A and B are shown apart, each in its own frame.
Chain A
Amino acid sequence: MDHRELIPHLFRTEARKIAAVLSKLFGIGNIGLAEDITGDTFLAAFETWPYKGIPENPTAWLYTVAKNKARNYLKRHHLFINTIQKTIQSSVPTSEEPEIDLSEKNITDSQLQMLFAICHPCNTTEGQVGLALRILCGFGIEEIATAFLTNKETINKRLLRAKERLRAARVAIELPPDKEIPDRLDSVLTTLYLLFNEGYYSESRDSIIREELCLEAMRLTYLLLENSSTNLPAVNGLMSLMCFHTSRLPARKDKNGELVLYRDQDEALWNLDLISQGAFFLRAASQGDQISKYHLEAAIAFWHTQKDDTAEKWESILQLYNRLLQLEYSPIAALNRTFALAKARTKEEAIVEAEELNLTGNHFYFALLGELYTEIDDEKALRHFSTAFTLAKTQADKSTIQRKMEGLQKPP
């Protein structure tokens, strides 16, 4: 690997570690400073390595440079000293020179603490997701913009506002005390869940970024599982859900990058290791008497790893959706529940309930109606599919609906 490949690679794996440790060191008000020093560190590598050659231990080189830059900054900038010193004195009271600890343990601890700080309820959800990507996953502004189908300027503003909110609320970078963890964990899990979904369902065409979003969400969830205070049933439920979904990632795309619907997927492409890991985490999630939406969604995802349409499968999925909707309504859960009702009972019964859903702005709603009316009243089915086609926003959705319509228009 030459430096042109090595530096981006190291940026991906090391930048987030340096950023987390420096953020923790400087305090919540100075996340931007931590980002800048991290960026400067890699810039130094870009400037030096092509001429002097790649150092023997590139990671250690980066850590040393980051430490020196952080120390120099602290020495030079008296303006900051007053605010920063308080943080440093409390963590390292004896040393004159601040100890910048880039050990594996401190990296993990800092990342976990930063995860809780970033996901503090004072922050908006999109701010949390954005900052998590930037600080904890080492994503560039451009990559975040691509993932969210927006531009760099919007993301920059979003991140600035998020940092400002954390600063104003003086959020501590620490693991909350055990008794507060279940409450604080809620917004952490929401952020990880969104991060994952962004990758799994995103309309962005950049499939590498999408897959990385999924893997990063899993890596951060794993951070929670590794710590005994945060290894709680809901976290296992979320991890299980992520494993089951990820197991199907390779089967969801055909050779041209088009989305392959579940029923058309080649099961041979499903990742069995991930499916058995999903089952492992689902078992771990079942300890305790609390059922979160992650448990229910993981259980639904488990049933989808069973390709055969058995009565037991659809009855179970229906009952899981019944419970999920009681915990938390979402249009997509309402639609999926109605589809499960058709499978577990009859299409006629599902049509009656579908008509009550009141989701007439949603193209999936009309796609569902089209699906339910198929073979019962093909003309109506076609009309619903064509409404769905008009409402659909992405090319992938449009071409899926198109195929359904072509299927209906074929002469018998």
Chain B
Amino acid sequence: MDEFILIFRHQDGNKVASPEQIQVWMKQTMDWIGGIAAQNKFAGGNGLPFDEARVVHHNRVVTNGPFGEIKETIGGYIIVKADSVEEAVEFAKGCPVLQGEGNTVEVRRIAKSDGTNS
């Protein structure tokens, strides 16, 4: 079984929704993750708060951001265990983030610690 990271890209919820709405999203996210964990397929995850986000550029210039394309900012991730990328994609389809138009969940296989790809 491999591990896949599901990366959520979406707008900063605090900018577009009420605290109550965010509460609802949080609960939906917890239910979604709980369902994956109940299958013993959850391996970890975190939310990435938008405040105090910084980008360090190649010339070591530091900017606030990365808020160029607001819908493409990484807002969080989870890591799941799956037999194939297709199974991981099925998990991703349930992610509440996808309720927002333009939001995405990127699915990537995590390299094994020995550096191999499979």
Contact = CB atoms under 8 A, between A and B. Distances in A.
Interface stretch (A297-305, A323-331, A381-389): A323-331
Most chain B C-beta atoms within 10 Å of own C-beta, residue among A329, A333, A338: A329
B56 to A, nearest CB: 29
Contacts of A356: 35, 38-39
Contact of A329 (B27, B30, B40): B40
Contacts of A333: 38
A316 B40 CA distance: 21
A328 to B, nearest CB: 9
A11 interface: no
A338 B30 CA distance: 13
Interface in B1-36: 27, 30-31, 33-35
- Sort chain B's interface into a size bin: 10 to 19
A322 interface: yes
A355 B33 CA distance: 16
Contacts of A325: 34, 37-38, 42
A322 B33 contact: yes
A392 interface: no
Nearest to A322: B34
Contacts of B42: 325-326, 329
A334 B39 contact: yes
B30 A322 contact: yes
Given A319-B27, A334-B40, A326 B33 contact: yes
Interface residues of A, number: 17
A319 B38 contact: no
Secondary structure type dominating chain A contacts: helix
B38 A357 contact: yes
A321 B39 contact: no
A117 interface: no
Interface in B52-98: none
Contacts of A358: 39-40
A358 B87 CA distance: 14
A308 to B, nearest CB: 22
B34 A318 contact: yes
A97 to B, nearest CB: 58
A353 B27 contact: no
B45 to A, nearest CB: 8
B110 to A, nearest CB: 18
Contacts of B27: 319
B37 A329 contact: yes
B30 A353 contact: no
Contact of A322 (B37, B39, B40, B45): B37
B38 A334 contact: yes
A337 interface: yes
Contacts of B35: 353, 356
A324 to B, nearest CB: 9
A37 to B, nearest CB: 47
Contacts of A334: 37-40
A323 B40 contact: no
Contacts of B33: 322, 326
A326 B39 contact: no
A323 B38 CA distance: 10
Interface in A326-354: 326, 329, 333-334, 337-338, 341, 353
Contacts of A337: 34, 38
29 contacts: A318-B31, A318-B34, A319-B27, A319-B30, A319-B34, A321-B34, A322-B31, A322-B33, A322-B34, A322-B37, A323-B30, A323-B34, A325-B34, A325-B38, A325-B42, A329-B37, A329-B38, A333-B38, A334-B37, A334-B38, A334-B40, A338-B38, A353-B35, A353-B38, A356-B35, A356-B39, A357-B39, A358-B39, A358-B40
Q: Which 7 pairs between the two chains have the least Cβ-Cβ distance?
A: A322-B34, A325-B37, A334-B38, A329-B40, A322-B30, A326-B37, A353-B35
Interface of B: 27, 30-31, 33-35, 37-40, 42, 45
Given A322-B37, A329-B42, 14 more contacts: A318-B31, A319-B27, A322-B31, A323-B30, A326-B37, A326-B45, A329-B38, A334-B37, A341-B31, A353-B35, A356-B35, A356-B39, A357-B39, A358-B39
